[in-house]
């Protein structure tokens, strides 16, 4: 299944987490490039199941997600720096 193709999702699962577990998951979202905790959980589930991909595909996807997360963090850092520069000029 291609993670970039929109697919209608009709099933839902739920489970409880401690506040610490949830915060750790939220932190992992930005590191991995996931848009939400749900996307992160779905991605982990696909990786766990193998999703019909071979190891090199999974490794490539993991690395791509990691790099995407790093780019997102850099983007936020540049925005913060731009705000600081703008505030200093005012």
With cut-offs at 50, 70 and 90, classify the pLDDT of residue 1: very low
| Cα of 48 vs its chain's centroid, Å | 16
Q: What is the pTM of this model?
A: 0.46
With cut-offs at 50, 70 and 90, classify the pLDDT of residue 53: low
pLDDT at position 10 over 90: no
Residue (of 22, 28, 38, 66) closest to 46 by Cα position: 38
Taking residues 7-15, what's their average pLDDT? 82
Q: What distance separates the 2 farthest-apart alpha carbons in the chain?
A: 55
pLDDT at position 35 over 60: yes
> Exposure of 28 by Cβ count < 10 A (0-12 exposed, 13-18 middle, 19+ buried)?
middle
């Amino acid at each position: 299944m291609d993670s970039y193709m929109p697919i209608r999702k009709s099933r839902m699962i739920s489970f409880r987490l401690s506040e610490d577990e949830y915060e750790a998951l939220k932190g992992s979202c930005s590191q991995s490039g996931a848009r939400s905790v749900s996307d992160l959980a779905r991605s982990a589930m696909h990786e766990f199941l193998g999703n019909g991909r071979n190891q090199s595909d999974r490794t490539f996807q993991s690395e791509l997600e990691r790099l995407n997360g790093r780019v997102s963090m850099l983007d936020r850092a540049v925005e913060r720096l731009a705000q600081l520069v703008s505030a200093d000029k005012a």
